[in-house]
Amino acid sequence: MKGVIFSYVLAYGGAVLSLINPHYGLLAYVALAILKPEAMWFWQFSDNQNFSRLVAYALLAGWAVHGFGNWKLGKGWAITLALVGFLLWAVVSAVQSPDPALGWGFVDPLLKIVIPFVVGMTVLDSVAKLKQLAWVIVLSQGYVAYELNLSYFNNPALNRVQDNFAGLDNNSIAIAMVSCVGLAFFLALHAPAWWQKLVAFAAAGLMSHVIMFSYSRGGMLALLLTGLVIGLLILLIPKKKPTHLVALIGAGLLGARLAGPRVLERFFTTFSDQAERDASAQSRLDLWADCWDSMLKRPVFGLGPDHWPLIAHEYGWPPGKEAHSLWMQTGAEMGFPGLVLLLAFYGLGLVRLWPLARERVPTADPWISCLARAVIASLVGFMIAAQFVSLERLEVPYYVALLGAGILKVHGLGRAAVEPAAAPIPSHA
């Protein structure tokens, strides 16, 4: 019953607040996209229940009523245009594809991500709003991780991660978690209150454990490299404190403790030589080589969105076989232009946030640098994990990228506003 009450309050409350302030509608939409209440509490909702649609309509209405937001996007413009360009190229690719209806099946869900992203870029105009978005992402994904952990510990034989939770397989769920671990860690590191630190650290730990019992090798590798990126970013903080290093070491020790023998055994098969590598790992390498061959044959428009499974049998794979790589499948289906646009969407954020993360440029608020580090750690983890699974429409990485682009916008505005009632935040709390 708690799920029903929470979902209706979030959806209808978010819809009402959207008309008052579209920023709150954006937060509600992001929370619903990550939580997926229809899947989380599937036994309490009908198949046609769609809370996100209600909030989306109200969000667009509130956005229009309030004059379509602030379009001074600064360095966030290039990231926004890369995403819009990716959407438009998907339309072009779909139109010229052998089955345009199938291609439109890719474009339609992508629209439901791109439109809120554009709205978000116009309503994010202060540090307070950036922090609210960051916390909504972490708390929402942290709650999903909590429920998956609870289910796993209650009955490991009924692992919801292995049972296509919300239509996502174990690799996809691992990607969603990796995309938020870095964000949660840095929120915990810089949060001013002890209870906020505790909540964020707990969320990071729960997400990390989900990745481990997902038994996704790509997710485990991405989590390990995310940890290394977090460590590098901490070392680069000009005025780091001993507590920063203690938190990093503690997180590493906790991760080592959570990884049991089965997890480690599964992980190390990633690095086996060809004679010892299992069929699943070897098949991914073969699939990526075939995608590359397809990209060379159709370099401009590609096969068409969602079309790789239609021709997989031409390379000796079973009909309907996915490429198990976001980057390789995108290139095969939308050509080099589509791949470049998607890589630019994520890559530009990393490049442009780096000086802020290293505090090489002055900022109006120290949280700008804190959040820049958080986004970099999360996006690096996502981009690594995405090499191992085909999932173009997973929402959470887009919203982490929205946070990064919003940071660039707010920094450019030069008025990184903090809430007047809030206590001053130390430079590196």
Give the pLDDT confidence score for residue 171 in this predicted structure: 81
Q: What is the pLDDT of residue 85?
A: 97
Distances (CA, A) of 96 to 278, 314, 333, 339: 38, 20, 11, 17
Q: Which amino acid is at 83?
A: L
Instruction: Provide the pLDDT confidence category of residue 422 given band limits of 50, 70 and 90.
Output: very low
φ, ψ of residue 168 to 5 degrees: the values are: -105, 135
pLDDT at residue 275 tops 80: no
Q: Does residue 124 carry a pLDDT above 90?
A: yes
Lowest mean pLDDT among 32-41, 258-267, 308-317: 258-267
Over the chain, what is the mean pLDDT? 84
| pLDDT value of position 421 | 41
* Residue 255 banded pLDDT, cuts 50, 70, 90: low
Close Cβ partners of 356 (under 8 Å, ≥ 6 residues apart) = 363, 368, 369, 372, 407, 408, 411
Q: What percent of the chain has pLDDT over 70?
A: 84
- Report d(CA 390, CA 388) in Å as an integer: 7
pLDDT band at 239 (very low <50, low <70, confident <90, very high): confident
Q: How confident is the model at residue 43 (pLDDT cuts 50, 70, 90)?
A: low
Phi-psi region of 403 (alpha: psi -120 to 50; beta: other; left: phi over 0): alpha
Q: Extract the tokens encoding 165.
A: 């939770």
Q: Domain limits of the chain?
A: 1-68, 73-413
Mean pLDDT over 308-337 rounds to 91
Spatial separation of the C-alpha atoms in residues 84 and 238, rounded to whole Å: 36
Q: Look at residue 244 in the predicted model and tell me its pLDDT.
A: 67
Q: Helix, strand or coil for residue 168?
A: strand
Q: Which of 269, 299, 337, 329 is nearest to 88 (CA)?
A: 337
Q: Which two tokens stand for residue 227?
A: 């940890």
Q: What is the DSSP letter of 43?
A: G
Asked whether residue 282 carries a pLDDT value surpassing 90, the answer given is no
Token code pair at residue 63: 């956005």
By CB neighbour count within 10 A (0-12 exposed, 13-18 middle, 19+ buried), where does 159 fall?
Answer: middle
> With bands split at pLDDT 50, 70 and 90, how would you rate the model's confidence at 258?
low
Predicted pLDDT at 423: 44
Q: Which amino acid is at 149?
A: N
pLDDT at 167 exceeding the cut of 50? yes
Contact (CB, 8 A) for 267 and 217: yes
Lowest-confidence segment of 7-21, 90-104, 216-230, 299-313 by average pLDDT? 216-230
Which residues have C-beta within 8 Å of that of residue 147, sequence separation ≥ 6? 40, 160
| % of residues, the chain, pLDDT over 90 | 49
Contacts within 8 Å (CB) and 24+ apart, 273-280: none
Q: At 267, is the pLDDT very low, low, confident or very high (cuts 50, 70, 90)?
A: very low
How is residue 117 annotated by DSSP? Answer: H
When comparing pLDDT for 245 and 110, which is higher?
A: 110
Helices (H) and strands (E) in the chain, counts: 17, 0
- In this predicted structure, the answer to whether residue 182 has a pLDDT above a threshold of 80 is yes
Cβ–Cβ < 8 Å for 329, 308:
yes
Query: What are the distances in angstroms from CA 200 to CA 62, 208, 271, 296, 388?
Result: 31, 12, 32, 45, 27
Chain-centroid distance of CA 64 in Å reads 27
